[in-house]
Amino acid sequence: MTPQPLPMLMVAPTGSRRSKADHPALPVTIAEIAETAEACARAGADGIHLHVRDGNGKHSLDAGLYREAMDAVGEAAPGLTIQITSEAGGVYGALDQIAMICELRPALVSVALREIIRAPADTPAARAFYHWAEGAEVAIQNILYTPDELGWFLDCLDDGTIPGQDHQLQFVLGRYEDSGSPSPADLDCFLDQMRGRNTDHTFDWMVCAFGPAETACLTDAVARGGKARVGFENSLWNSDGSLAENNAERVSEVRAAIQAFSNDQTLSPNER
């Protein structure tokens, strides 16, 4: 199967960890998520990375809640590409994640390789899952936290654990717990690993980044041929270090930075 292409600018407005104590505009309820999706679409997002919360505001992989959220987002922001997450969030095991995806059968879902294969004994079940998803036309964006994990993912392609020729990747720059901030240069090792391998696979790749360097990292990723994921899941801050008012403000800043780069590329050297 050739998966639906990733959107150029995807917003991740909620995540599994942050709460309104971190930012009052973090959307938690389905109504808030739908309202945020509409505002972010107006600001320039063309996709949304969707998390849902239970009645206590906790991370959930409930398929029923996902259906409600997907319907609400689809009504509020028609045309916005919807991707759900299967993130464990410190709550769910691999079999829980797989069961949710198999029940919901979403068109697009993000899956962290390290969460589906937590030990060698998990490999047979993971192989069965990835092959099922290929046949069910469920497009998996593979979340990779380090260049070494990307190497592991490429090994899984080579040994047939993960089938198919066309793959979606998410490179993560930085972490919640890091005191520092990532830089655009952190992408180098991912790209060296991906492009240095002799493979006939194709990769539709995207970057997310933590902290105030988010805009710079995402603009650099697009300049290098990738795509961008922005939002409160990863960063609450604008590039000048100020706290963003809401997710739409983050989308607007990154969209403007990408557009400025694109406009610059269309100019002749004498016009720049």
What's the CATH code of the domain at 182? 3.20.20.70
What tokens were used for 237?
A: 């801050």
The amino acid present at 146, given as its one-letter code, is: T
Residue 271 pLDDT exceeds 60? no
C-alpha closest to that of 247 among 22, 8, 37: 37
- Helix residue ranges per DSSP H, 213-272: 214-223, 247-266
User: For all residues of the chain together, what is the average pLDDT?
Assistant: 93
Give the lowest-confidence range in 9-13, 73-77, 105-109, 175-179.
175-179
- The answer to whether position 4 is within a domain reads no
Asked whether 68 and 55 are in contact (CB, 8 A), the reply is no
- The answer to whether position 49 is within a domain reads yes
- The answer to whether position 94 is within a domain reads yes
- The answer to whether position 111 is within a domain reads yes
Average pLDDT over residues 88-102: 97
Tens of pLDDT, residue by residue over 109-144, are 999 999 999 999 999 999 999 999 999 999 999 999
What tokens were used for 87?
A: 């993130």
Task: Please report the pLDDT score of residue 269 as a whole number.
Answer: 43
- The answer to whether position 223 is within a domain reads yes
Asked whether 214 and 241 are in contact (CB, 8 A), the reply is no
- The answer to whether position 2 is within a domain reads no
Asked whether 220 and 187 are in contact (CB, 8 A), the reply is yes
Asked whether 37 and 44 are in contact (CB, 8 A), the reply is no
Number of structural domains found in the chain: 1
C-alpha closest to that of 234 among 170, 157, 190: 170
C-alpha closest to that of 164 among 192, 189, 190, 127: 127
Give the domain range for residue 90.
9-266
- The answer to whether position 43 is within a domain reads yes
- The answer to whether position 1 is within a domain reads no
How far apart (Å, rounded) are the C-alpha atoms in residues 116 and 134? 16
pTM here? 0.94
How far apart (Å, rounded) are the C-alpha atoms in residues 53 and 58? 5
Tens of pLDDT, residue by residue over 19-60, are 999 999 999 999 999 999 999 999 999 999 999 999 999 999
Task: Please report the pLDDT score of residue 68 as a whole number.
Answer: 98
What tokens were used for 62?
A: 């409930």
Confidence label for 270 from pLDDT (cuts 50, 70 and 90)? very low
Tens of pLDDT, residue by residue over 137-190, are 999 999 999 999 999 999 999 999 999 999 999 999 998 766 467 888 999 999
What tokens were used for 133?
A: 């998803």
Confidence label for 267 from pLDDT (cuts 50, 70 and 90)? very low
What tokens were used for 258?
A: 């990408």
